[in-house]
Amino acid sequence: MKSKEGALTRRTLISSSATAFSIVAPQAVRGSQANSKVSVGLIGCGGRGTFDAKITHSDPRGRITALCDAFDDRIEQATAALGLQKPETYKDFEKLLGNPAIDAVIIATPPFEHPRMLEAAVNARKHIYCEKPMGVDVEGCRKVIAASRRHDPKKNLSVGFQQRYGGVYLQAYKLLQAGAIGDLAAARAYWIANDPFTRRDYPGADAKTARLRNWFCYRDLSGDFIVEQDCHNFDVLHWFLGGLPVRVVGYGGRKVRTTMDLMDHLSLCFEFPNGIYVNFEANQLTPRGYAKVGEEFTGLKGTITTSRTAMIHYKGPNDMEKIEAKRDITYDAFEQFLERIQRGEVENVGERSALSTMIAILGRTALYTQKETTWKGLYGTV
C-alpha cells in the first residue's frame, strides 16, 4: 500500500486504534423526524443478514423496509422470518441505495462484495452497518479505507466486529488499561470449533451461480476462513494491543475439508510492537461437542481471558472474577448503531476495521507462502 491514498502511516495507526465519535443535530443525520424509526434496507438476505435484520426490526428504534438479494428464495425466506408485509424488494443493490426513504443499510453479502457495496453506500450517503471482513484482499481493504475517509461526516459507518460493543469486552479492556494485570507480557487467541459450512446442490443452476451460492468454499470469494471468521480475533488483538503486527510466521493446511478451496486448520505466531508475541490457533475440523473461542492477555500480575460469553480476570491462586455476557453481543452492536443514528452521534470505523482485516490477510500470506511475512513488506511503511 504505497500510494498516497492507501499508505498506512503512524498517524493512521494511532487514529484507527480508537473509535472516533462526533455529534451533530439529529435532524441533520436523518431526513425524517428524530423520534421516528430508522428505515433500514438489508443487502444480502442469507442467514447472517436475516439474523442482523431480526435484531434491527425488533428494536423500537428501527424497522426493515427493504430487502435485496440476487436470489428470490433468499428474499422470500427473509420476508417470512422477519414477518414483513410486502417490503420493497430489489435484485440490484444500487437501486435500493437510490431509495431516498431508506436511512441506513446492512451489508451482509459474501465478503468479496463488501468493498464495492460499502463504497456505493458511501456514495449514496447512507448510514452503514457492514458485516466483517472488510474485504478478501489488499485491494479491497484499500478501497474500504479510501471510501471511509470520504464518508459523509454526518453518517455512521459501523462494522460487525461485535466485540467492540460487548459489555464483557469493554470491561476487560478497561481493566487492561487500568493496569489490573500489570505490564502485558504475552497474548494468544484461538478459534477452535466445528466446520460451519455445508456445500449444497442447486439443481438447474449453472456453474457460476452454484459457485456464488457456495461462496464460503472458495478462497477468492470468502478470503479463506482465517479472513472470513478469524478476523474477529484479530480485531480484538488490534484493539487490546493498541497496534498492528510487525511480522508473522505459521503453517496451515487441510485434513478433512479436501473438497473446498480453503484450509481447515492453522497455527501462527505474530510479533506485535513492544516485543509482544501472540500465538494464534484456529481450526474448523473439531468434532461437535468441544469449542474454544476467544483471547488471553497475560501480564506480570495476572491474566484476563475474553470471549463472547464471559470475561475472566485471574488475580491469583483461587482468586478470580468472572463477568458473563447476558446475551449475544450482536444485540449490543445494533442497539448502539440505531441509538447513534437517532441521537445524532456519528461513528466511522471503516478504516480501523480494514486494518484489522489486513492482519488476517498478513497471516494468510504467511500460511500460503510458508515464509515469514512482515507488515512493511506486504503493505509498505507504517
pLDDT one-digit tens code per residue, 149-186: 999 999 999 999 999 999 999 999 999 999 999 999 99
With beta carbons less than 8 A apart as the criterion, state whether 158 and 333 touch.
yes
How many structural domains are present in the chain?
2
**Cα distance between the two ends of the chain:** 10
Examine the domain organization and report whether 316 and 207 are in the same domain. Answer: yes
Q: Is residue 9 part of a domain?
A: no
Examine the domain organization and report whether 24 and 102 are in the same domain. Answer: yes
Examine the domain organization and report whether 96 and 26 are in the same domain. Answer: yes
Examine the domain organization and report whether 35 and 95 are in the same domain. Answer: yes
Task: Examine the pLDDT at 347 and tell me if it is beyond 50.
Answer: yes
CA distances for 230 relative to 23, 24, 70, 193, 226, angstroms: 32, 35, 27, 12, 5
Q: Which CATH number is 70's domain given?
A: 3.40.50.720
Q: Is residue 1 part of a domain?
A: no
> In the structure, what pLDDT confidence band is assigned to residue 6 with cuts at 50, 70 and 90?
very low
Q: Is residue 264 part of a domain?
A: yes
Examine the domain organization and report whether 134 and 275 are in the same domain. Answer: no
With beta carbons less than 8 A apart as the criterion, state whether 38 and 32 touch.
no
Examine the domain organization and report whether 258 and 295 are in the same domain. Answer: yes
Give the distance from CA 66 to its chain's centroid.
23
Examine the domain organization and report whether 371 and 283 are in the same domain. Answer: yes
pLDDT in tens, 291-308: 999 999 999 999 999 999
Cα separation, 109 vs 126, in Å, equals 17
Q: Is residue 282 part of a domain?
A: yes
Q: Is residue 4 part of a domain?
A: no
Instruction: Please report where in the chains the cell 446442490 appears, as a residue.
Output: 201
Examine the domain organization and report whether 203 and 261 are in the same domain. Answer: yes
**Cβ neighbour number for residue 335 with a 10 Å cutoff:** 16
Task: Examine the pLDDT at 16 and tell me if it is beyond 90.
Answer: no
> What is the reported pLDDT for 19?
46
pLDDT in tens, 131-144: 999 999 999 999 99
Whole-structure pTM over 0.85, yes or no?
A: yes
Rounding to the nearest 10 degrees, give the CA dihedral for residues 172, 176, 178, 182: 140
pLDDT (average), residues 256-266: 95
Task: Note down the domain range covering 245.
Answer: 165-330+361-379
Examine the domain organization and report whether 171 and 131 are in the same domain. Answer: no
Q: Which CATH number is 221's domain given?
A: 3.30.360.10
Examine the domain organization and report whether 342 and 225 are in the same domain. Answer: no
Examine the domain organization and report whether 230 and 241 are in the same domain. Answer: yes
Q: Is residue 178 part of a domain?
A: yes
List residues bridging with 294 in a β-sheet.
Answer: 190
Examine the domain organization and report whether 122 and 230 are in the same domain. Answer: no
